[in-house]
Structure formats: C-alpha cells, structure tokens
Amino acid sequence: MRMSRPTATATGGTHHAQDCPWRRTVLPFAVVGFLAILVGGLIAATIAHEPSRNLVWLVAYLVLIFGLAQIFFGIGQAWLKPKASGRLLVWSEFALLNIGNLGIIYGVLADNIAVVAVATVLFLAALGLFALTVHRQPRTRFWQGYHVILALVAVSALIGLGLAAFGQII
C-alpha cells in the first residue's frame, strides 16, 4: 500500500494527499486559467506596438477573469472544502464558467449584446455554484475573502453587461 504524506486542511485537521480534492477540483481550472494568462500575454506582446481598445480589453479579461479569477476559484474551493466535490459539480462549474467566459469575449468583440447577456448569465451561474459549494464550510477569514471576491467579480460582470448594452466596452 502506498503511503502518502498528511497535509493540513482549511479546517485545521489533516488528511492524506491521496484523498486531497486538489487534483479533481483545481486542475481543470488551473490548466485553463494558466492557458488564458499565457494567451493574454502573447496577445499583449503581439499588439504592444499598435494596441487597440478591444484587444487591450481582451488581454485584461483573459488575464484577470479567464485566468487569475478562475485559478483562484478552483484553488479556493479546494482549500475551503477538504472533501472532494463530485465530478458533476466540478465539471458543471467548469463548463458554465468557461462557456460564459468564451461567450462574453465573443459577444463583446462581435458587439452582440444578446450573446454577452446569455454568457453573463452562465458566468454568474458558475459563480453561484462556487459559492454554494463552500457555503457550509467554517466561516474563516479566507472563506469571507473568497465570497467577497466572488461578489466583486459578479458585480463587475453585471457592470460589464450594462456597459456592453450601452456600447461602452469597446
């Protein structure tokens, strides 16, 4: 039998690395988030000599929301909930978040408010699932910060939808 090193949990207990939800919970979000940051950086390097408003917005969205926020939500969920979430839940969050992100990007760049609206609803549904997943976990400072960031990203998505509706994003 393979032994694993005990690790600390967010609740102060310990569990073994084999039981750790990180692989299932974090990996999909981390891989896509890292790729989004990489693509954002490559686009930034490519357009540096002649930036345009829509490409600068795209780089910021890829790095901050599609990349960093996604990685944070995956890691935060695993940190707050030491017991692994079910595959259906994780893949539902993953699908809603990434289809929403892709839809928002397409809708904004194509100037299609209907696509932005539907994609924002999917994105907000993903944020809601992230919040519900850790809802019954101990109310630590990290738990509070996690929820504050979820709320800030949700509010920014609604503000972005409003800006898109009035043609103010790009």
Contacts by residues 16-25 (CB-CB < 8 Å, ≥ 24 positions apart): 19/84, 20/78, 20/84, 21/78, 21/81, 21/82, 21/83, 21/84, 21/85, 22/78, 24/84, 24/85, 24/87, 24/90, 25/74, 25/77, 25/78, 25/81, 25/84, 25/85, 25/90
Q: What is the pLDDT along the chain (170 residues), one digit of tens a residue?
A: 444 444 555 555 454 445 555 777 889 999 999 999 999 999 999 999 999 988 999 999 999 999 999 999 999 998 888 776 778 888 999 999 999 999 999 999 999 999 999 999 999 999 999 999 888 887 989 999 999 999 999 999 999 999 888 876 65
Residue 82 near residue 6 (C-beta atoms within 8 A): no
Residue 11 inside a domain? The answer is: no
Structural domains of the chain, count: 1
Q: With respect to residue 12, please indicate whether it lies within any of the assigned structural domains.
A: no
Q: Is residue 4 part of a domain?
A: no
Domain contains 154:
yes
Task: Identify whether 65 is part of a domain.
Answer: yes
* In-domain check, residue 138: yes
Residue 7 maps to a domain? no
> What integer pLDDT is reported at residue 164 of this predicted model?
86
Query: What's the pLDDT at 136?
Result: 82
Q: Are 123 and 157 in contact (CB under 8 A)?
A: yes
